[in-house]
Structure 1
């Protein structure tokens, strides 16, 4: 049996005390302390194929579920979902990347095999 834990993306909290790592194949978000200690593991059926990750300057954690066609906000501790930001109903198809623009108060979502970049205003 082949076990695969591929790190697709990682991001650091603005304070530098947390490291967020996503695994596409295991559908997990891991939160580590600066010394590498595992602080939290987050999984959610609504978040399959994690591939996009962004931590805002305010410490908000945004993740993309490529296979579930969703973009979520997860708590800074990495243990709970705070909000569903966009879904397939909003036009999201196989999201690959997400970032937050404080200039426009919006999230920007890039998609696989799609020339359209989605922009969602958030408050």
Structure 2
């Protein structure tokens, strides 16, 4: 399991035993792990999306003028990396290096969570939005 504390990203066993601190910064709130478990995507206080290896090594740092104070990060079943901020979802390539596309999401401000179920992305805040994808 990967847990953020607000200032660090930690790796824990499923039984709750701490393995190690993987990353530390002044603001670490959101993380997501790809399906194979070899990449961890983390947002930080500098409005960056970091791609870490499973041992915490920084593989890449993604910045984009659209990415300011990200509020959620998610990796879909197909490996697409999605990052939210305000009312926008940015899709980043599977390496975490570049913006593939951006999507304005209506009626959702500062989403706090995302998940996908089949061909739907569910975005949650004070409202719930279900987006059908192909």
TM-score where L is the length of structure 2: 0.74
Q: Are positions 1:97 and 2:113 aligned together?
A: yes
> Which deviations, in whole Å up to 9, do the C-alpha atoms of 1:20-76 show, x marking residues without a partner?
1112x311100011232211111111121112011112211111113xx21111111
Displacement of 1:92 after TM fit?
Answer: 3.1
CA RMSD of aligned residues (A): 1.6
Say how many residue pairs are matched. Answer: 110
Q: Which residue, out of 48, 54, 65, partners 1:45?
A: 65
Structure-1 residue corresponding to 2:10: none
Structure-2 residue corresponding to 1:75: 93
Unpaired segments ≥5 residues, structure 1 = none
Q: Are positions 1:118 and 2:134 aligned together?
A: no
Which structure has more RCO (C-alpha within 8 Å, separation ≥ 6)? 1
Displacement of 1:9 after TM fit?
Answer: 1.4
Q: Are positions 1:106 and 2:120 aligned together?
A: yes
| Partner SS for 2:49 | strand
Structure-1 residue corresponding to 2:51: 31
TM-score where L is the length of structure 1: 0.79
Q: Are positions 1:10 and 2:39 aligned together?
A: no
Q: Output the CA distance in 1 between the equivalents of 2:59 and 2:109.
A: 31
